[in-house]
Structure 1
């Protein structure tokens, strides 16, 4: 074989960091060793994988074409090593999740995964849907759990579980009367505290409010669900978040749900994976745990 796995590691690290020094540091190599490995890989096949712009390495067309195949091959090699060492037990996992999922569902799933695989570790990256999708595309995450709908040629998008968004207010808000049902006029008259553009929750909210969206008064856009709940509890306006993020506040009476039955508030959570990434035992076990948890939460 005319290439080594170490050469592929250097190639992928250089593609990620766009800098050979940072790639070498990430792989615990000297800069000269990393440069030599990359140079040998290119010379052995008489190819060029990067355009050199000063100290920056930018993938050219061939490099972009080969990157996912190299990542898939390296992932399979790493999985083989784990299987040889741990008798095919699921290993470490890099998971990305959007805020609603990461803060309210993923932590329990991590605990279950690590309890069943005591030697394994799970790292959790919590960001909005757009950021998680970008990291899965770039092979920075093994699997993503997202709230927003994604369309990307390199991603496999798999439905996971049902969810719904709920409009809510402070218990002292004028619209919070018992049994209050909001019509479009009430929605347009209110101030709104919403998630930022790029989040799955905001994507769904914009879909729910189709037809009146330009007429809504968006007072604040915030990146964190807890900040939105506090702003709404302080009486600044109405919010709209996933029900899983609001159950505790509803049970305490700090916030109250408001009905909008004329608008469809249902949505799905999704798994996202790179189409060319090897489906390891760890990823398969994680997906299984997620599905089991969803089945357990489903109404009888």
Structure 2
């Protein structure tokens, strides 16, 4: 076998960073050492894996074919190393979650997982759906927990648990007295909504797509907590997951507004790259997530164990 694992590490890092110098930095190698490693891989195989565009190195067709296999082989090599070192093989896990899942579920799920496998190093990144999908597609994350639609051809999508958005307002708002609103009434209000690219915004826009009157969108914010504070302050009404509003509804600081004319149901999903090798940590984490949400019909009914 003419190639080495180190050469494959450098290849994957260059593919990710599109730069030999940044790839070297990520692997604690000098630019010269990284460049030599990549050159040797291409020379020994008598092939070219990148197209050079100025200072950028962009994967060519052969490089794109090699990348998922190289990532899978390196993942397997890390598991073998863990086992040879007398460990369980749960080396590391990198999870991406969208904001609702990340803020209200993922931390406790990861906490439960780490209680079972304290030797595993876990990283959680929280972004909107579009960003998590992009990271999974580029092998920057092992798996994602998302609340939006994913049509990427390279990504496996599996349903997890159902979620529902709900329109809500401040206690002093007229809707709080009636507890419901028609489409016509909703269009007369000022709105505070999630940003474009988020799963929450996509579900809301799809629910409103048949209504011809444009909404008065006063604010677009990236964080659900900021949206809740804005609505509490009287800046408008909003629509986010019931999961994110459980505590506020119990306290009475925000009030649910039922909207029978709108379908605000959606699904939470697991996603991972179709060609990515599923490590033991990935398989165990997915199993734990399914176990802790078994028998649940909607996300706001989930009660996760506290982390001791």
TM-score bracket for the superposition, by shorter chain length: over 0.9
Name the CA distance, whole Å, in 1 between partners of 2:247 and 2:114: 26
Whether the 8 Å contact between 2:146 and 2:271 is mirrored in structure 1 is: yes
Deviations 1:77-111 (A, max 9, x none): 22222233345442311000000000100000111
Whether the 8 Å contact between 1:130 and 1:198 is mirrored in structure 2 is: yes
Deviations 1:11-63 (A, max 9, x none): 01011111111111111112211111100110111111112233221222221
Deviates more, 1:256-265 or 1:211-220: 211-220
Structure 1: gaps of 5 or more residues: none
Name the CA distance, whole Å, in 1 between partners of 2:32 and 2:171: 64
Determine whether 1:140 maps to 2:154. no
Give the match for residue 294 of structure 1.
293
Give the match for residue 51 of structure 2.
51
Determine whether 1:253 maps to 2:246. no
Give the match for residue 280 of structure 1.
279
Deviates more, 1:260-269 or 1:34-43: 260-269
Name the CA distance, whole Å, in 2 between partners of 1:45 and 1:145: 38
Give the match for residue 101 of structure 1.
101
Q: Aligned pair in 2 of structure 1 residues 214, 131: CA closer, same or farther (>3 Å)?
A: farther
Whether the 8 Å contact between 1:160 and 1:269 is mirrored in structure 2 is: yes
Deviates more, 1:95-104 or 1:65-74: 65-74
Name the CA distance, whole Å, in 2 between partners of 1:150 and 1:56: 29
Whether the 8 Å contact between 1:206 and 1:213 is mirrored in structure 2 is: no
Shift of 1:65: 2.2
Give the match for residue 9 of structure 1.
9
Whether the 8 Å contact between 1:49 and 1:62 is mirrored in structure 2 is: yes
Name the CA distance, whole Å, in 2 between partners of 1:287 and 1:83: 21
Task: Report 1:195-210 matches (<5 A).
Answer: 195-210=194-209
Give the match for residue 35 of structure 1.
35
Determine whether 1:181 maps to 2:180. yes
TM-score, reference length from structure 2 = 0.93
Whether the 8 Å contact between 2:79 and 2:89 is mirrored in structure 1 is: no
Shift of 1:213: 6.2
Cα RMSD for the two superposed structures: 1.5
Name the CA distance, whole Å, in 2 between partners of 1:112 and 1:296: 18
- Secondary structure of the 2:132 match is helix
TM-score, reference length from structure 1 = 0.96
Name the CA distance, whole Å, in 2 between partners of 1:257 and 1:43: 64
Q: Aligned pair in 2 of structure 1 residues 78, 227: CA closer, same or farther (>3 Å)?
A: same
Give the match for residue 111 of structure 2.
111
The total of aligned residue pairs comes to 299
Task: Report 1:109-258 matches (<5 A).
Answer: 109-178=109-178, 180-212=179-211, 214-258=213-257
Q: Aligned pair in 2 of structure 1 residues 213, 128: CA closer, same or farther (>3 Å)?
A: farther
Structure 2: gaps of 5 or more residues: 303-308
Name the CA distance, whole Å, in 2 between partners of 1:195 and 1:177: 25
Name the CA distance, whole Å, in 1 between partners of 2:269 and 2:86: 30
- Secondary structure of the 1:215 match is coil
Name the CA distance, whole Å, in 2 between partners of 1:203 and 1:80: 42
